[in-house]
């Protein structure tokens, strides 16, 4: 019998940074994709609230509910054997006070059986991060562009207030976060923040100076139906492959090629 693959833990993220090893994180929202992403050997799998846009076809991440996040997280959690599974806390599940934040994160860990939560914020969420960590819940912070604040930020823009970015990341570390996502900030700012922190920075649109990288899996696979940001590298074009396969099925049925003898019971 082959040995069970070892599960990556939150503290190991920090150890990877200390060892100079880049960390890879990708999103998953369903069982087959979670298995593939896990088998690819990434360290982290994020059940992102991006599922609101990617899977539910919403305009932004705000509408997804805690129950919906838990539903997807439970499915992903069952599929993954190796990576650390991190679940986004949806808006506003951690904005209604520390008590409510612990209740929401507690539900995520108990009901999905995943391993960590992510929330958007730095200095402004220091108290919440510290309370969750005290409750034994590993927290990944998310600074820079915070998609849940899209209306306040006036759109999905590069965030350039370097003083605030550094203060946010440092506050998250001081509060006990095990990692911090840096979204859509200059590569210079991200590299400087990464040098200042002991915990790893996981960049998305933040350049190569981060300690790791995260992308929305459907974006890199060319499967996203809407806008794909500049910071995404497309590794394949699944949308075109799927579209031609679906049209081939339609044509085969119409022409009588499918089902063939090999697809038929006698």
DSSP state at residue 229 = -
- Per-residue string for binding with ligand KIV, 44-83, x by CB under 6 A? --x-xxx---------------------------------
What x/- string results for residues 211 through 230 when contact with ligand KIV is judged by CB under 6 A? Answer: ---x-x--------------
Kindly identify the residues of this chain, within the stretch 83-112, that bind ligand KIV according to CB under 6 A: 88
Q: Does 204 bind ligand KIV (CB under 6 A)?
A: yes
183 flagged as catalytic: yes
Give the Å distances, CA to CA, from 100 to 44, 72, 200: 26, 21, 27
Distance from the Cα of residue 75 to its chain's centroid: 15
Q: Go through the chain and tell me how many residues it has.
A: 266
Binding of ligand KIV by 159 (CB under 6 A): no
Return the residue nearest ligand KIV (CB atom). Answer: 48
Distances (CA, A) of 241 to 155, 216, 246: 32, 19, 9
- The catalytic residue among 120, 126, 173, 183 is 183
Q: Which residues fall within 8 angstroms of residue 160, CB to CB, at 6 or more apart?
A: 185, 186, 189
Tell whether residue 116 is a contact of ligand KIV (CB under 6 A).
Answer: no
Residues 13 to 42: which contact ligand KIV by CB under 6 A? 27
DSSP 7: P
- Residues annotated as catalytic are 183
């Amino acid at each position: 019998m082959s040995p069970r693959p070892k599960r990556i833990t939150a503290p190991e993220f920090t150890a990877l940074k200390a060892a100079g090893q880049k960390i890879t994180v990708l999103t998953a929202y369903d069982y087959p994709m979670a298995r593939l992403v896990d088998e690819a050997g990434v360290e982290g799998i994020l059940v992102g609230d991006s599922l609101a846009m990617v899977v539910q076809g919403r305009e932004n991440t705000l509408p997804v509910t805690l129950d919906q996040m838990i539903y997807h997280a439970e499915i992903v959690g069952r599929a993954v054997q190796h990576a650390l599974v991190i679940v986004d806390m949806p808006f506003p599940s951690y904005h209604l006070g520390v008590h409510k934040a612990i209740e929401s994160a507690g539900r995520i860990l108990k009901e999905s059986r995943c391993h960590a939560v992510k929330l958007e914020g730095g200095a402004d969420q220091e108290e919440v991060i510290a309370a969750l960590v005290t409750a034994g819940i590993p927290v990944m912070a998310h600074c820079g562009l915070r998609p849940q604040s899209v209306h306040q930020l006036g759109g999905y823009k590069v965030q350039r207030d370097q003083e605030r970015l550094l203060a946010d990341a440092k506050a998250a570390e001081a509060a006990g976060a095990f990692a911090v996502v840096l979204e859509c900030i200059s590569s210079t700012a991200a590299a400087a923040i990464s040098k200042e922190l002991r915990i790893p920075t996981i960049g998305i649109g933040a350049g190569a100076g981060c300690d790791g990288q995260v992308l929305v899996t459907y974006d890199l696979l060319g499967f996203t139906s809407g806008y794909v940001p500049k910071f995404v590298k497309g590794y394949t074009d699944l949308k075109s492959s799927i579209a031609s396969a679906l049209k081939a099925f339609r044509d085969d049925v119409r022409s009588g090629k499918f089902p063939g003898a090999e697809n038929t019971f006698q």
